Chains A and B, each alone.
Chain A
Amino acid sequence: MIQRILLTVGILSSCCLPPGTADDSHPLPTASENAQQIDRFLADHWAELRVAPAPLCSDRTFVRRAYLDLTGRVPTTAETENFLKDGRENRRFALIELLTNSEDFVQHFTDLFDTLLMGRGSDRDYEQRHKHQWRSWLERVFRENQPWNTAAAEILRARPTTPADSGAVWFLYERKEKYQDIAEAVAPAFFGIRIECAQCHDHMIAHEIEQQHYWGLVAFFNRGKNVNTKRGPRVAESAVGGFSEFATLDGTSKPNLLTFFEADVVEEPRPEKDAKEEDRDDLYTPGSDDAPRIPRFSRREHFVTDIVAEHPLLATAFVNRIWAILLARGLVHPFDEMDSVHPPSHPELLKWLADDFRSSGYDIRRLIQTVAMCRAWQLSSQQPEGVEDSSTFSWYLERPLTAEQLARSIQLTLRGRFANDSPLVGNVRNAFPDVLPDESISTIRETLFLSNNPAINQFIHESSASGSLLDRLFSLPDHNQRTALLFETLFCRDADSDEHQAISDYLGSDPDQLKPRLEHVIWSLLTSAEFRFNH
């Protein structure tokens, strides 16, 4: 158990720093030191606005929150107890360090980034992402804590050099040569901006996003072609073509130069209009059976080296997104509209975080630890009186569990283990597609699913094997003990006397009714807001 071993590791250990980033003379500040810097930024803002933040949350609340936010599931009762028993003053930081080094952390952040980079898909899309190693490639990014700029470059270059890197092509490949789709996905995924509006005209509100940025971004990818090699799917690139003009609103047309938002134009010889280009072999370095030939002037390569590598938004968008994941809204909100219409709530903090992320070598785990160790993440979720503005981060904003968090937590609490490929995951995913919604609005569709879809009922009903929650409840001697076990397992807390009474009265005294009624009680707890939200 990686977790048990790591419990003994102190929080100031350097094990979380990737090799080569810490220079002995100028060691990087640790995540917890960094977190204090965040605390100062936020506290200054609170003082300025005369906002009194919520108090720190209780340890019980903290442990559930930490497991959900960092590992994508609720803790087991044993994990909760372990934490509550830990008398050390730094137990919260120790838990953060433990969890961010666990395999469940890898799975959870892979789930999140799969959705953020690829979007939700059909069951078949998920099978394909798995089969073509996108999933395992993304897992490896988090497991090995690869720097984000490296990962981004691999995805956008889409030229794997080892079999293990094959999956990186899937971001482009799944979009099937639909170059506008690719551009519209690249902009929010790596730069935190939405450019759809700029297809037909310069963005009418965020004026800085221009039509040439849209078509420039398309041009970087419009020579791509999906091919199948012995080593699996690849995205080949042509050395010719892909020149076009786009029509502006005033009726003129402009060439689709290789450029992007906040970047220069990449120079490329442009053939005369209507001139026929010859697709000669000498325009390429030769390929092989398992790797397509590469143009000597590769637009994708230029995009990676000339645009992405130095782009200021690469780090800023990423830190804003991690902030949004952990604090339920971005410093820029919505997190993927980082334009002039959506100014950051804390510009200095955002800049500082981005600078720190860059100087750490785009160290993802350290960034997540940094944000998790800040005080704002540990505040009570009870909104303080007199404060309305959630962008103050003066209380912990509750957020609905994602489909994966929900499906995993249901499995774990009812059966003591979970499988990512349980049919429950797919069912819940279809009903709850949202990840990081701008606002938490419950829909009728979701609610009908919880109320009536057989998937949940059946899962509860079939979770009665020896050792399961249902089995243990059934064998307990009285309703009080049953209620206590239910609340510990599902809510990570003790039931109060009203709750004891409610369950006890409902379960009644008819032994024949005990099992079905226990199932109903489990349903009612699983579908109550306390379980549905992370708070």
Chain B
Amino acid sequence: MPSNMQAISSSPASHCGSVDHTIHRRQFLQGSLAAASASVASYSALFSVPAIADEVQKQGKKCILLWLCGAPSQFETWDPKPHTPTGGPFGAISTNLPGIKISSLMPQCATIMDRLAVIRSMKTEPSEHFQGIDVLTRGDKPRPPFVRPILGSVIAEQLGQLDCPVPQFVLLDPCPEGNEFKAFKAGNWAGWLGAEYGPVRAGGEYSIPDLARPENLTQADHSDREALRKFFSRRYENDHRSQAAASYNAAFERVRGLMSCAPLFDLETLPADDRKRYGGGAFSQHALQARHLIENGSTFVMVANGMPWDNHVFQHEMHQMLVPELDNVLYQLVTDLHLRGLLDDTLVIAMGEFGRTPWLNEARGRDHYPNAWSLAMAGAGIKAGTVYGATDDMGIDVRDNPVDNRRLFATIFKALGINPHEEYSLPGLPTFHRVEADAAPIEEVA
């Protein structure tokens, strides 16, 4: 058994025993077939029996991405410009970092600024959601037909434990809708890394349909028929060199893991106090669930909630609802991780795909603005208490230290101990690097 095998915590993880705990009973897995099928590369996988250690694995870095899809306004979050013609109605408040002010809509985060790193000089290109989401979740522009894997897939591949039954990359997104984000969700997330590094999606009514084995089927029958299915299906996958079948078969693998840790996805198992602290909304509850998943073996959890931040209309009113929720969630999450001794290994990122215009449109909305915007990070290798970069007086352009998507990704990878510049070496793939053009991590941030 490999020493790096995923371990699962003992308390909630008692639910989390492997489905594969028994070597398959039936003859068909043991007799002459095994020899005859040596040519089927994956056949041996039928015999693999992952063992689950008893204690939580505390080594290894993790990441939670609070994906603020639709793009929040920097003015109402990290880079307020009060008393300017376009600064909006909300003030700026002092934080526990001397001289640093953030929006008055974020009083709780103001008390933990010394744990955060804020970048106020994001400067990226795409100004439309789909392209913005693409670049800011994958780290680079598309180069068809090759599909760069999304951040969560890269991190799951680099830091995750594939044999762990707990899904390594989880997307918690209760809202199946969301305009361009909806279209984006329908696309290929894992890209050239392959489907096994794609996310398990959960959320919604806090439960996953069909997660439980049918009542009239024994555990043994359920896993035996799955083993048979896999045998037939992998043959097809191998014979056809089929990526579609690979994705299909990988989904069954992950379903097996997911079923074994079903209670992790049941919010009802979490303490009522915690649930109250995080707040009632789906985004808040899923942020709590993200903490729980990270504590129990997931490597990357992305929390989204459709595309609520795209406030072209009545942006102040909308942000007045959305920002305080974000303020509380980020505060609770960072504080919890800190108190549990997990913050040193867990990177938390809160960002959208671009910022909002300094000026207001006719509907008192702020439109898309990639030219100068902000985001926040905390934990893992992030240098806490940092505010990096600055915009000009009106927030129209970056004044100091512009950061593009490549430098951001290099910084994220560095904070997680991943080499940002490693070249992908995959068959049929032209030269690609984890981050292109040797973009340097921001020394002041990670």
Smallest Cβ-Cβ distance to B27: which chain A residue: A505
Are B232 and A533 within 8 A (Cβ)?
A: no
A340 on interface, CB distance cutoff 8 Å: no
B37 and A390 within 8 A (CB) = no
Give chain A nearest CB distance to B176 CB in angstroms.
10
A452 touches B128 (CB 8 A): no
Query: Are the C-beta atoms of A529 and B367 separated by less than 8 Å?
Result: no
Pair A502/B33 contact, Cβ less than 8 Å: yes
Q: Is B210 an interface residue (CB 8 A)?
A: yes
Q: Please tell me if A535 contacts chain B, counting CB pairs below 8 Å.
A: yes
- Looking at A207-215, A282-290, A317-325, A437-445, the stretch in contact with chain B turns out to be A437-445
Contact A205 B252 (CB under 8 A): no
Q: What are the 3 A-B residue pairs with the smallest beta carbon separation, nearest first?
A: A505-B28, A529-B245, A528-B233
Question: For the complex, is A226 an interface residue (Cβ under 8 Å from B)?
Answer: no
Contact B145 A506 (CB under 8 A): no
Residues of B within 8 A of A449 (CB): 209-210
CB of A524 closer than 8 Å to a CB of B: yes
A204 touches B248 (CB 8 A): no
A383-414 vs B, CB cutoff 8 Å, 1 = contact: the mask equals: 10000111100000011100000000000000
- Interface contact B131-A451, CB-CB below 8 Å: no
> Cβ of B131 and Cβ of A398 under 8 Å apart?
no
CB pair B242 A533 closer than 8 Å: yes
Q: Which residue of B lies closest to A509 (CB)?
A: B27
Q: Are A530 and B361 in contact (CB under 8 A)?
A: no
The 0/1 profile, CB within 8 Å of B marked 1, for residues 112-155 of chain A is 00000000000000000000000000000000000000000000
Q: Does A6 contact B (CB under 8 A)?
A: no
Q: Would A520 and B361 count as touching, CB distance under 8 A? A: no
- A196 closest partner in B (C-beta): B179
Sample (29) of A-B pairs whose CB atoms are under 8 Å apart? A204-B128, A251-B361, A381-B240, A381-B242, A388-B428, A437-B186, A440-B243, A441-B187, A441-B188, A441-B189, A444-B200, A444-B201, A444-B251, A447-B248, A451-B213, A452-B259, A499-B235, A501-B31, A502-B28, A503-B28, A506-B27, A508-B26, A520-B224, A520-B225, A523-B225, A527-B233, A528-B236, A529-B242, A532-B245
The distance in angstroms between the C-alpha atoms of A383 and B241, with both chains bound, is 7
- Give the contacts of A190-209 with B (CB-CB under 8 A): 196-197, 200, 204-205
CA–CA, A202 and B141, complex, Å: 22
Interface size on A, residues (CB 8 A): 60
Residue on B nearest A247 in the bound complex, by CB: B362
Q: Residue A448 contacts which of B31, B33, B208, B216 (CB distance < 8 angstroms)?
A: B208
With known contacts A499-B232, A502-B33, A452–B145 Cβ distance under 8 A: no
Q: A449 — nearest CB in chain B belongs to which residue?
A: B210
By the criterion CB–CB under 8 Å, are B128 and A508 in contact?
Answer: no
- Interface flags, B150-188, vs A, CB<8A=1, else 0: 000000000000000000000000000001000000111
A196 and B179 alpha carbons, distance in the complex (Å)? 9
Q: Which of B37, B200, B214, B258 contacts A454 (CB 8 A)?
A: B214
**Nearest-CB distance from B246 to chain A (Å)?**
9
Asked whether B254 is an interface residue with its Cβ less than 8 Å from the other chain, the reply is: yes
Is B47 in the interface zone, CB < 8 Å from A? no
A533 touches B245 (CB 8 A): yes
Which residues on A sit within 8 Å (CB–CB) of B254? 444, 447
Q: Give A1 to B311 CA distance when docked, in angstroms.
A: 60
Contacting pair A447 B255 (CB below 8 A): yes
A398 engages B244 (CB within 8 Å): yes
Cα–Cα, bound, A440→B33 (Å): 31
Q: Once the chains are docked, how many angstroms separate the CA of A247 from the CA of B33?
A: 70
Contacting residues of chain A (491-524) with chain B, CB-CB under 8 angstroms: 497-499, 501-506, 508, 516, 520-521, 523-524
Shortest CB–CB separation between residue A361 and chain B, in angstroms?
35
